Structure 1
Amino acid sequence: MTLLSILLQVDTALNTAAAAAPPAPEKISLFNLLMEGGALMIPLLLCSGIMVYVFVERLMVIRKASAIDPTLMVRIQQAVATGDTSGALAACRNNATPAARVLEKGISRLGKPVDQIERSMENTGRLEVYKLEKNVSVLSTIAGIAPIFGFLGTIAGMIILFFNVQHQGFSLETIAGGIYTKMVTSAAGLIIGLLSYVGYAYLNAQINKAVHGIEATSVEFLDSIQQTNH
């Protein structure tokens, strides 16, 4: 009952503000529609803000991680072939990408059996992939809960609408206007959920692309070590 009372008060306040406003031409305004959505538009707006922040932040990180210097492997192979381990490590540290950090771990293990070097690089690679995937699951969570918030807002609005009908009487215009405004939360929730899902899928595709690049670089490095040992 407390939640219903709060929703009733918010809905009454919004309706009072709308009634006090001067008459306007009959047209749909996005801002007015969002205002008509009621109190549950607040968590939906928070979800949309978090969605945009996480997507942009992760996209920048993933793109930076995917920017591998094409000359890096050549310089490392030349340094390793001449025994310049310090130079190879310095080249990796100057690159500052996941692939470079995986190579740095392999270079630091030179002199040990190849299988040990490979395991060390694999462990480092897993850590780098975890860093790339950090917070990406937030988009998946928003894709799931945003439509639920939207439907909850619509249900709460319908409860308020029929409560008002019971106590204030039936009016076709009131019913029609109340229904379409209360559907705003459902539409907003579905749109936010859809965008979150698309963003989640896109970031996962970019992460897979970066992981394939790391794996290809690691395989090339291990092959060069085996050829050097032979």
Structure 2
Amino acid sequence: MINLLQTLDTATKLASGAAAATDANNDGSISFYELLTLGGWLMIPLAVLFLLTIYMFFERLQAIRKASQIDANFMNIIRDHIVNGNVSAARSYAKNINNPVARIIDKGIQRLGKDIEIIEKSMENVGKLELYRLERNLSVLSLIAGIAPMFGFLGTIFGMFQLFYNLASTGDFTIQTMAGGIYTKMITSATGLIIGLLAYIAHNYLTTQVDKTANRMEASSAEFIDVLQEPAR
């Protein structure tokens, strides 16, 4: 127990001494910016990964939300045109809507008169292309979620190297000698983990939204096929 208390006391002194040694403006505290700069040059690629995560998330979120917005009466209007034999009006209506569902239905309308299997296959091919557009750049978030913690781990190695190099060079086992390596190790590790976690959450959230949009596309395709088969019932 005594040894444990001594260890905790030593760690507290190390942290306090390191903080005092790195207080750039001598105001008695370390600002968030000052804290980040203590991570060293590895904070630059981590900052790039963070900005890339934020950009990719909002860019994909906007694109997915735009793709999922469609008039609730869209299929009803298509149904009325098809049932009334006004194919040109149905296609004109679908073609003028910038939406994945509308493009899939438009392809189905273009194939009217052919076998149902051919129509379904054509619509399926368009659906795959639309799904690919929605998933574009999601792999970047997945990559960031994997490599950001690795950069943090690299910072841990670099920080330990810096710490032992300073000790070996000066032979002085003091707080000031150890502070740089300690901060590099802790800050880069924490930053890498946080960025990786954010990218992981963003990737999974966007994947869920893409799946919802894909289900809406499949439901609309199935409804369109039902419309084509209604007269035969």
TM-score normalised by L of structure 2: 0.86
* Partner residue, 2:101: 99
Which amino acid in 1 is paired with 2:222? V
1:63 aligns with 2:60: no
Contact persistence 1:142–1:196 (CA under 8 A): yes
- Matched position secondary structure for 2:40: coil
Which amino acid in 2 is paired with 1:195? L
Q: CA 1:194 to 1:145, structure 2 compared with 1: closer, same or farther past 3 Å? A: same
* Partner residue, 2:113: 111
Alpha-carbon distance between aligned partners in 2 of 1:22 and 1:197, rounded to the nearest angstrom: 36
* Partner residue, 1:211: 214
Which amino acid in 2 is paired with 1:225? L
Q: Which moved more, 1:90-99 or 1:101-110?
A: 90-99
Alignment match of 1:173 (pick from 163, 172, 175): 175
Alpha-carbon RMSD across the aligned residues, in angstroms, is 1.7
Runs of 4+ aligned residues of structure 1 deviating over 3 Å after TM superposition are 18-22
Alpha-carbon distance between aligned partners in 1 of 2:212 and 2:174, rounded to the nearest angstrom: 56
- Matched position secondary structure for 1:218: helix
Structure 1 runs not aligned, ≥5 long: 1-17
- Matched position secondary structure for 1:40: helix
Shift of 1:29: 2.0
For residues 111-168 of structure 1, give each alpha carbon's deviation from its aligned partner in whole angstroms, at most 9, with x where no partner exists: 1111110010011100100000000010000000000011101211211121111111
* Partner residue, 2:188: 185
Which amino acid in 2 is paired with 1:73? M
Q: CA 1:22 to 1:30, structure 2 compared with 1: closer, same or farther past 3 Å? A: closer
Contact persistence 2:162–2:180 (CA under 8 A): no
Q: How many correspondences in the alignment?
A: 212
Alpha-carbon distance between aligned partners in 1 of 2:94 and 2:22, rounded to the nearest angstrom: 66
Contact persistence 1:69–1:95 (CA under 8 A): no
Structure 2 runs not aligned, ≥5 long: 1-20
Contact persistence 1:44–1:146 (CA under 8 A): yes
Alpha-carbon distance between aligned partners in 2 of 1:106 and 1:229, rounded to the nearest angstrom: 18
- Matched position secondary structure for 1:95: coil
* Partner residue, 1:225: 228
TM-score normalised by L of structure 1: 0.87
Alpha-carbon distance between aligned partners in 2 of 1:86 and 1:199, rounded to the nearest angstrom: 42
* Partner residue, 1:44: 46
